Structure 1
């Protein structure tokens, strides 16, 4: 989702890092302290204001590749408000800081891509709105050029997702509205429905329970449009395992299901108070069972397609017992009463209950479910070294009786490759995970996730070394940016949170409290010229009571608002 975004930002950042310290070639005006025109040896042309021999103030710079910057400069760098246009149609309009896109701005491309929001160090970071050429629109939080945090993604077909994102995909709690009127609210992982959730379908069906890989899987409850309600186990989107189905007409079945059908052992209670307990196949009574009839009779024996057939024993309400072969629900020719029976008489209480029973087809669950369009193709993980992957575990044998423990190389459903330790069928211990886009994690795992000490690197050179919890940066660690900036301190849920130290590439140093990736609380900021500010910060800017000490020792103390001293003490 974010590949083109990364490419665009890298290009712009590369263009902005050049300082423009003048050497010579002033062709018009005052290129020292005033207004003038300057042409560099590489062909770049600048028209605008100068101060101390640097580009400072308002001006226009045309680079030799055709790129044009119009806006504010400070000491030879883009700084303040400006607009940068590249020959291929990319255009950025907004704030710059120390030669880098930083602050509020808008980035557009000729293909229709548009981002409007916050930038930090040349990257999407903070709140923003992104419109894609294919019609998708995202509004929410970004971190380090990736959709990360709370937000809403709208699709061209009218569907949407609102909730939390991790690595550009839905993760955590969220709400998905589909174009056909379906609605899902619940847990997500790696862009798929995973965990607990509620799915409402346009025909009125409603499922509440566990999901795995977008499908009903685990314990749940589904209510059908015709009034049926099932509570129990599901597997791969179908009713499978132990459960209880209730029909609005009064039937109640409790027992085993396979692929949406009554199969195995179960108990059916009928509206007329009769009751069957025994074996089922393909949604009908098949095998050994006992039928208790409303009139007081009881049959125990074999059933075929719902009727007594084969060897069995019938005891009527008067206590008479008949043992022998049955066919079509009745005894086969002249059965002999067992010793102790009162007399032989025609059995009026027919063996077959005679009631209309729920059909096998009525039990089946919808076989297919909608998949997330943006999700990776579903399926079992690749099998290597003779191992079998199923239900979230690695097994040593095809019968899935023995969960694997040891070391292996294992391709996960998202395409990443894990190499390392596995315990009781789950990734646990030390290992390495390499993602298709070049990201790499090396360190400790627990419960199938990154937990403990580890190192996470990105293709652009960014790297985090430290503690992880539930797959996110959490605890103490160090995050190194590709431009040389670095943060060392506390993390929470993947963000700078707590006490830490941030060293900027231009020499600035901040030591203090962080919140949501930005300085927030009390801290100390040391500037390259030797100035030091100590005091309050909010959302990365000086806010509240503080003291600014200049290199010459001069002290200004008072109230700051958005980096400006507004009230002296």
Structure 2
């Protein structure tokens, strides 16, 4: 066996690696055993490995090359190849005589040479033909060349056997591949101005260089639905140009700068749905400063982009609500919460500056109203809630607690203040009617028209506050609103139509805030309380339970960004167990805290599935990531990134790795149990076995030594112990012991 091993040590190394791998992982199926005696088989196997290792340790000298024969040796090539003894026997055979006859020089047909000069016709040994001008035996001048095998033809100028000048190349492979090139040539390649056509399916007209589009040109590719006018470099759009897409699912047109076939620089991209992005691109993605607008919805964004997502500082305007939000973004998401300042502009002219949650004022902030009033203080879910200072446009100031958007006095909260106090809105005994419907003007200028009882507003009546222009039109019970009624603020930014109990909004009712936000459902003590539906200015809709004016309990929130959350809420925030379906189809099911994924949860995306721990909306803690091909990676995450250290990886083949990882790839020390029964324990580098390691093969053989790029190192140190107990030790090129 050793005599058959080739002398090239490099080739031998590759052969040995493949053979050793085969022999270590199987029972040597390529060896044919005679008989069934186990001892005989063991001897054959042992001899097989010894021969392989001996070939590595003591390679034969290289055979002499043909160059050696010409310059250094007097031996013939046959003598070098087959040795003298073998040739002596060969020369005496009938086969040798026959061989000499077939190899005789007289049987070789020399080709007819091409015409030296002038005009002529010539057929080459390949069957190709040329009709045209010759000079010095070469194609030179004007002529037609036809390729016999393909039918390709070239008609045009030639210089020293090369196409050079102007000419037409025509090819016709089959019915679907027919085309022509008409234009300039230089040194046998298309170079200069030219027109290339494949019927109506593919047309390019413009500059060429080294057989590819290069310079200004027009490309019409009907097969891909792509038209381009502009500059090219090495066959791809590069420079300034305009592209039109007729078949692309996303793009319609792009006009601007290109680099190596990608949008790169300043440009304008119009999408298939009519939306438009104008700004900077990098490698085909929106990156830098740019404006995105959607004429269908009226939404637009003007600001920073990174890797095709809104990232940085930007301003988004909703076409539905006409509200604009200006602040920091990260990966298409508004960065909200404590310390993140935003500016909100409402269609009413009101302007809010401060913290947000869920796109609404939440935290500390200041609102400057269109009428000149200013509020600075705490906000919850878009309403003034907590401590705040309000300065009215007339200079009046309130510094205190707020609830559901209105100031509170003691334990008697009101949403819209209508003065009904003893000193300015009560009839005196002398001028108060007792029961008949009437119209009353109070000392402060307020008016009431309706029923009375014992001098108090009772029954149906309408009250108008002169100072604020607030109105209430509905039922009364002894000076208190009670029953059904409609309350309208003087600025018409709040309208309530519903039930009242003892001067508070209690029962079922509907309110309209700022003319664009609505709530329909149950109320208690002037606050949303019970089951109801709230629609925000940007089109988000919440249907579910409320408590004291805030989302609390179980509900469904359909946000303006297209996402939907179904689950538990607490104090206005997603909190508890829930399911969040994103606009792109991603799905998260698990725990939430303070509007963020927090606790145990499962996120399913188009690329992978993650099951594990979350904190503050990012992967944090132990988790398992599953790829579409079935690969699972079990380890620890921190701040949405995998932590280098111990991991367990299960591959689609059902092989399992447990050990050190860097970037979720085996790196360091680890153990891998393969599906075929092999077990490797040792060093890994960038996902492959490299360094010192021990592998116990499924057939019982054991290799303990050095590995390189997932294979036994051919020039390293190691010990091979066969299943029968035979041990082979070797070190680089030394012989095994």
Q: TM-score, normalised by structure 1?
A: 0.51
CA apart distance, 1:29:
4.6
Mapped pair 1:411 → 2:480? no
- Contact 2:473 2:486 survives alignment (8 Å): no
**Change over 3 Å in CA distance of 1:115–1:460 after alignment to 2:** closer
In 2, distance between residues paired with 1:455 and 1:135?
A: 26
In 1, distance between residues paired with 2:462 and 2:544?
A: 33
State how 1:349-364 maps to structure 2 within 5 Å. none
- Contact 2:528 2:548 survives alignment (8 Å): yes
CA deviation vs aligned residue, 1:397-444 (integer Å, no higher than 9, x gap): 5x8357533xx3513325444444344443332333344523232222
1:497 maps to which of 568, 575, 579? 575
Mapped pair 1:82 → 2:288? yes
**Change over 3 Å in CA distance of 1:516–1:389 after alignment to 2:** farther
2:303 maps to which of 87, 90, 93? 93
1:543 maps to which of 596, 602, 620? 620
Mapped pair 1:106 → 2:319? no
CA deviation vs aligned residue, 1:34-77 (integer Å, no higher than 9, x gap): 99966124542254568xx9x69x6544136985222457xx76
In 1, distance between residues paired with 2:235 and 2:353?
A: 44
In 2, distance between residues paired with 1:31 and 1:381?
A: 83
Partner of 1:438: 516
Partner of 1:39: 243
Mapped pair 1:567 → 2:644? yes
Q: TM-score, normalised by structure 2?
A: 0.41
- Say what the alpha-carbon RMSD is for the aligned residues: 5.2
- Larger helix proportion, structure 1 or 2? 2
CA apart distance, 1:487:
0.6
CA apart distance, 1:106:
3.0
**Change over 3 Å in CA distance of 1:472–1:390 after alignment to 2:** farther
In 1, distance between residues paired with 2:371 and 2:504?
A: 38
Partner of 2:268: 62
CA deviation vs aligned residue, 1:158-181 (integer Å, no higher than 9, x gap): 997543224655333224589999
Partner of 1:188: 402
SS at 1:386's partner residue?
strand
Mapped pair 1:170 → 2:384? yes
- Contact 1:433 1:442 survives alignment (8 Å): yes
- Contact 1:556 1:568 survives alignment (8 Å): no
CA deviation vs aligned residue, 1:514-555 (integer Å, no higher than 9, x gap): 2232212322111113x1112232332223332222112223
CA apart distance, 1:124:
7.5
Please, which runs of 5 or more residues in structure 2 have no aligned partner? Answer: 1-223, 246-251, 294-299, 318-323, 430-442, 452-458, 466-470, 647-737
**Change over 3 Å in CA distance of 1:445–1:46 after alignment to 2:** same
**Change over 3 Å in CA distance of 1:30–1:558 after alignment to 2:** farther
**Change over 3 Å in CA distance of 1:537–1:548 after alignment to 2:** same
**Change over 3 Å in CA distance of 1:106–1:214 after alignment to 2:** same
**Change over 3 Å in CA distance of 1:174–1:403 after alignment to 2:** closer
In 2, distance between residues paired with 1:130 and 1:195?
A: 30
**Change over 3 Å in CA distance of 1:402–1:153 after alignment to 2:** closer
2:592 maps to which of 484, 509, 514? 514
- Contact 1:140 1:151 survives alignment (8 Å): yes
CA apart distance, 1:128:
2.3
- Contact 2:482 2:501 survives alignment (8 Å): yes
Partner of 1:528: 606
CA apart distance, 1:504:
0.8
- Contact 1:421 1:427 survives alignment (8 Å): yes
Partner of 1:321: none
CA deviation vs aligned residue, 1:238-273 (integer Å, no higher than 9, x gap): xx5xxxxxxxxxxxxxxxxx469xx99xxxxxxxxx
Instruction: Flag the structure with more relative contact order, 1 or 2, with Cα contacts below 8 A and sequence separation at least 6.
Output: 2
In 2, distance between residues paired with 1:545 and 1:481?
A: 30
CA apart distance, 1:130:
2.4
- Contact 2:241 2:258 survives alignment (8 Å): yes
In 1, distance between residues paired with 2:550 and 2:328?
A: 25
CA apart distance, 1:466:
0.7
State how 1:328-343 maps to structure 2 within 5 Å. none
**Change over 3 Å in CA distance of 1:118–1:32 after alignment to 2:** same
SS at 2:515's partner residue?
coil
CA apart distance, 1:492:
1.6
CA apart distance, 1:497:
1.5
- Contact 1:139 1:152 survives alignment (8 Å): yes
Partner of 1:24: 226
CA deviation vs aligned residue, 1:1-55 (integer Å, no higher than 9, x gap): xxxxxxxxxxxxxxxxxxxxx85235635799999966124542254568xx9x6
CA deviation vs aligned residue, 1:76-123 (integer Å, no higher than 9, x gap): 764xx5321479xx97333467x653x5423399xxx98332468566
State how 1:56-455 maps to structure 2 within 5 Å. 60-63=266-269, 67-72=277-282, 78=286, 81-85=287-291, 92-95=302-305, 101=310, 103-107=311-315, 115-118=326-329, 125-126=336-337, 127-130=340-343, 139-152=353-366, 161-166=375-380, 168-175=382-389, 185-189=399-403, 191-196=405-410, 258=423, 386-388=460-462, 396=475, 400-401=478-479, 404-405=482-483, 408-413=484-489, 415-455=493-533
Partner of 1:465: 543
Q: How many residues align?
A: 369
Q: Which has the larger radius of gyration?
A: 2
Partner of 2:75: none
- Contact 1:395 1:402 survives alignment (8 Å): no
In 2, distance between residues paired with 1:382 and 1:497?
A: 48
**Change over 3 Å in CA distance of 1:404–1:161 after alignment to 2:** closer
- Contact 1:29 1:36 survives alignment (8 Å): no
- Contact 1:29 1:37 survives alignment (8 Å): no
**Change over 3 Å in CA distance of 1:214–1:105 after alignment to 2:** same
- Contact 2:521 2:533 survives alignment (8 Å): yes
- Contact 2:474 2:486 survives alignment (8 Å): no
